[in-house]
Amino acid sequence: MTTVDNLLIKIIDHPDNYAKNLFAKKDFDILNNLYKSITANFFITENQGRLLVKILKENQKKLPEFTADIDEAIAAPIWSRTFRHVEQIKKFYIEKNQQDELVLAIEFTFSSQLRKVITELTKACDGVVLSNNNKKYWADLTERNIVKIVEALRPLNFEIDETIKNHYNTIKSWSEINVTDQFLIANMPGQNFQKHITADLGIETAIDQNIIVDRSMRYQYQPENPRKIGENLTEIIANRTKTKIWIGKNDYDVASVIESLIELKRLPVLVVFDTFVNDKYLENLEILSDALEKNGIFDGIGIYFRLPNDNVGTKFNQLIKEKSYNKNLDRDTKVAVVQSGKLPKFFLKNAWQPMSVIALDTKMGLRHGKTSVYSNCCDLIVEWAEKEVLFESKVIGKWQ
């Protein structure tokens, strides 16, 4: 009796492209890959064996020369070797990423079901990305992420690290009302809190409701009044629910964004040009320059990269020279401009820090690299672009 794997070898090895001409392309590609596995040292898995039998059964009428062998293979499949065992990994734990930051790690052997679960988690959780070696997913180490991920993975029999279990149990033991009441602005203990607010805004600054709501994420308190949708861009930004907010470029121009940042006392600002949109460097620099001038910002501007002196690059570099956008980075810098993923080293040694970040006309957003890590220290990152970045939180042009 012919084994199923040897039957496949006979079919694929039949002369004159016999199998390739008879099978649909998708089926032939699968069979050809199974053939390569069978003739190699690592053989195939049990699931692959079932798939092979299924394809032979569906295509039996196309293979009259092998009808008897296929009948036997379908009725009682036998194999020349033991199936290859695939270790089923399902783990959820804490580790350090490439930037030496602690993150939540989700590691699993590929399956379409688990991939769907992870896709849903990317929508519900913060900072979910595929790791550098593409073998696991990382997520921000936050209380919300721990609860969401544990409750999604536990029914799927994941091995969950004891530390995460303890964190989860602690978080679930909290009373939301008791916890949030501690952080109401009226209940915050005075001296330290007031000191930081005063250092940020100055004694003379009149603090309106937008600024109170805007600073709640920075200083980790709850405003007395609930967040609202917002009737204008300043309110939309102030009432954001995450540090990153997407502003649709078809709804608001850059001048409006900068005007709102000024109203919220959010200067200095770091502006990031997306390296994936490098065909618009000159256009976006002109947009930025116009927006700054409309808001009365003519000095204290530093653009810390240049383009090759080709047709566009020469105009780009010349505009920087004409507008004097070459200020050294110091405490008086109002606007600093860099490229995504290419943060100059002197930023890390300088006392200057942004109060806000604008990712300008971005396609990929601030997801990876040194610029992303540097920007994440800021509690307000505006992504001004035509479309929101895939897997980013749902915040659209008119905010929701």
pTM of the model: 0.58
What is the rounded CA–CA span in Å between residue 113 and residue 116?
Answer: 5
* Chain-centroid distance, C-alpha 384: 16
pLDDT band at 350 (very low <50, low <70, confident <90, very high): very high
**Inter-CA distances, 72 with 3, 27, 60, 78, Å:** 9, 21, 12, 9
Mean pLDDT, the chain, rounded, equals 86
Q: Going along the chain, which residue ranges are E strands?
A: 90-96, 102-108, 129-130, 136-140, 159-160, 244-248, 269-273, 301-303, 335-339, 356-360, 381-385
What is the rounded CA–CA span in Å between residue 135 and residue 322?
Answer: 49
What is the rounded CA–CA span in Å between residue 43 and residue 83?
Answer: 7
Largest CA distance in the chain: 93
- Looking at residue 391, its pLDDT comes to 41
- Looking at residue 160, its pLDDT comes to 96
| CATH architecture of structural domain 240-385 | 3-Layer(aba) Sandwich (3.40)
Write down the H helix ranges in 187-335: 190-201, 209-214, 216-219, 233-238, 254-263, 281-294, 311-322
- Looking at residue 202, its pLDDT comes to 66
- Looking at residue 368, its pLDDT comes to 66
- Write b or e for each residue in 354-383: b if 16 or more Cβ atoms lie within 10 A of its Cβ, otherwise e: bbbbbbbbbebbbbebbbbbbbbebbbbbb
CB 149 within 8 A of CB 168: no
- Looking at residue 154, its pLDDT comes to 93
What is the rounded CA–CA span in Å between residue 49 and residue 59?
Answer: 16
CATH 3.30.780 matches 90-174: yes
The three-class DSSP label of residue 370 is helix
pLDDT tens string 158-209: 999 999 999 999 999 987 776 666 666 566 665 565 666 667 766 565 667 8
Mean pLDDT across the stretch 344-360?
Answer: 94
pLDDT tens string 210-229: 888 898 888 877 777 666 77
- Looking at residue 18, its pLDDT comes to 86
Please give the residue that has the higher pLDDT: either 183 or 79: 79
By the 10 Å C-beta count (0-12 exposed, 13-18 middle, 19+ buried), 344 is classed as: middle
Please give the residue that has the higher pLDDT: either 191 or 356: 356
- Looking at residue 351, its pLDDT comes to 92
Task: Report whether pLDDT(260) > 60.
Answer: yes
User: Following CA atoms 208, 214, 219, 225 in sequence, which dihedral angle do they give, to the nearest 10 degrees?
Assistant: 70
pLDDT tens string 225-245: 666 777 899 999 999 988 999
pLDDT tens string 23-70: 999 999 999 999 999 998 788 988 899 999 999 999 988 888 888 888
pLDDT tens string 115-170: 889 889 988 898 888 876 667 899 999 999 999 999 999 999 999 999 999 999 99
* Chain-centroid distance, C-alpha 291: 28
Structure tokens at 216: 């709640």
